[in-house]
Amino acid sequence: MSAVEDVAVASDVAGVSTGSTNEGRPTNEGRPTIEGTDGVGAASARVAAYLRDLILHDVLGPGDRIRQEEIAERFGTSRLPVREALRMLEAEGLTEHEANKGARVPRLTMHEVDVVYRMRERLEPLALSESLPLLTDADLAHLEDVQQQIEANTDLDRFLDLDREFHLGTYSGCRIDPLNAMVTRLWNSTQHYRRAFVAMGGQARMWVVNAEHRLLLDAVVRRDTTDAERFLEGHIRRTRTELSHHPAVFGKTDG
């Protein structure tokens, strides 16, 4: 699937009209571009938000190319905001640049995913311990609400959004910016594989996820750093271990 086709799949997400077409190609005649109306910075942010949504929801998957000229044409802008958007996404772990080939969604090997999950096992408990003392009663009430939504949910995409909101919410009190950035980057880089893991288990295994979340949330509410770190580390390790039993999830690597 080309980048233009990928973008067309979810054109309503960006909130940008593509205009009329000429022989199937989008045009922007007679109206301002997002770059002209918003400026390069705002245009870059909108392109980045759009591509981020496509990647996190697996419309663009590991190994898929992102062609700057097609994205620029689709959004009615120059390549400058697109290049800046791709730099933003690369810093977040969502894209990578290959010399003479351009940008693509990273494809990780089974070993690389294992290492990333081991990093998460060490860094996320640290972020959680930094966060716990600063979480407010409103934060805790929100986490309870999110977990109740998870328990009532049956949709894969919705679960992934809620699960991300739950875990990153437990780290929201952390004031160490480099740690927060690294945690988010590691989450982003493993999103595709987390999706595959949840899909394999299906609803029959959601009771395990919910039980682990409940143990973690109880420790968070009690401000028990020791228990919270232990439950979180085990939660991440279980995913890593189960993924290691399914090499097909990782597909083939580029030669």
Tens digit of each residue's pLDDT (9 = 90 or more) over 148-195 = 999 999 999 999 999 999 999 999 999 999 999 999 999 999 999 989
- Between residues 111 and 36, the one the model is more confident about: 111
CATH architecture designation of domain 110-250: Up-down Bundle (1.20)
pLDDT at 241: 93
Query: What whole-number distance in Å separates Cα of residue 55 and Cα of residue 70?
Result: 17
Name the phi and psi angles at 26, rounded to 5.
-70, 145
Mean local confidence (pLDDT), 66-75 = 91
pLDDT at 97: 92
Would the pLDDT of 205 be above 50?
A: yes
pLDDT for res 38: 57
Choosing among 3.30.70.260, 1.10.10.10, 3.40.1180.10, 3.40.50.150, the CATH entry for 3-104 is 1.10.10.10
DSSP strand pairing (21-22 vs 96-98): unpaired
Predicted confidence at residue 4, as pLDDT, reads: 43
What is each CA distance from 173 to 23, 55, 136, 225, in whole angstroms?
52, 27, 8, 13
Which residue ranges make up each domain of the chain? Answer: 3-104, 110-250
Checking if the pLDDT of 235 tops 70, the result is yes
